[in-house]
Amino acid sequence: MTILADAPLLTPAQIGELASSLDGLHGRVLKAIERLQKDVDTRKQEIANRWKQTGVGMVDRARFAEQETLAVVRDIKANAEKELDGYLKSAGAPHAQLIAQRQFYDSPAKVLSRAALGDERRTAYLNQLAYAGPAELGHMAQVAVSSKNVPLAAAVLSLLDRMPSKDRPVGPAELAHAMRLDDFLKVGEYIKLGDARLQGILVAIRTWKHGRSNPINTVQLALRERGIDRDLIGGGDD
């Protein structure tokens, strides 16, 4: 039995807006951490300079400066906690909405099956091809792909789906894939972008809090970034 989810079906434009919001949030997080790190560096330098001007011995001076620096860094990080946690919470909702769309866009066949619903052309093609045999349907599938005729492709997909697998001149998934639907392709990249940006936010904040980076996380982020088709969706931090 199929369990129906209550997640709303969003358009590619709406999904793009969610990915863009995460992209922008990621940029703000990086700028915030850059600002905080500059504050830390400035305070460290101030402490070091101040202790250099005292008459305390070198060993004690270094120890006192280190203790004061650690206390200052703790204070800066504690004061930044609310701001950074706010960024994490802000990222949660759009990312949850974004990944909820996977069930609607995880295959080109699903996207093609919804295409041109209510369009008179799809209905007309369905009626005209209702009694078409395998050879004719196979040819119409090729015509749809070659002419980028989405209503025709959607109609042929419906008819192929009704046929026994052994009689199909072409598989429904093969037809849908060959159509290279913009909606399917773009949403896939938007979800990749949103996932990468959420991961980037988590890694950036974790690195700031712990004071060190994880090489594995850095490599994973780089691979995610390389996997995004910028030519298709544009994007990136401004």
pLDDT tens for 116-126 read 999 999 999 99
Domain count, the chain: 2
Residues 94 and 79 in one domain: yes
Question: Does position 184 have pLDDT exceeding 80, yes or no?
Answer: yes
Q: Give me 84's structure tokens.
A: 């950074």
Does 219 reside within a domain?
yes
**Mean of pLDDT over the chain:** 92
Question: Does position 29 have pLDDT exceeding 90, yes or no?
Answer: yes
Residues 93 and 24 in one domain: yes
Does 204 reside within a domain?
yes
Residues 84 and 142 in one domain: no
Distance CA 125, CA 127 (A): 5
Across the range 165-188, mean pLDDT stands at 97
Residues 28 and 129 in one domain: no
Residues 56 and 171 in one domain: no
pLDDT of the residue at 48? 86
Distance CA 70, CA 101 (A): 45
Does 111 reside within a domain?
no
- What is the value of pTM for the model shown? 0.85
Last residue of a domain, one of 179, 204, 224: 179
Last residue of a domain, one of 136, 151, 179: 179
Across the range 54-78, mean pLDDT stands at 87
pLDDT of the residue at 235? 56
Residues 150 and 210 in one domain: no
Instruction: With H, G, I as helix, E, B as strand and everything else as coil, classify residue 176.
Output: helix
Question: Does position 237 have pLDDT exceeding 50, yes or no?
Answer: no
Domain of 18, in residue numbers = 12-105+184-233
pLDDT tens for 186-212 read 999 999 999 999 999 999 999 998 887
Nearest alpha-carbon partner for 156 in 186, 187, 135: 135
Question: Does position 53 have pLDDT exceeding 90, yes or no?
Answer: no
Residues 168 and 129 in one domain: yes
Who has greater pLDDT, 59 or 43? 43
Who has greater pLDDT, 227 or 57? 227
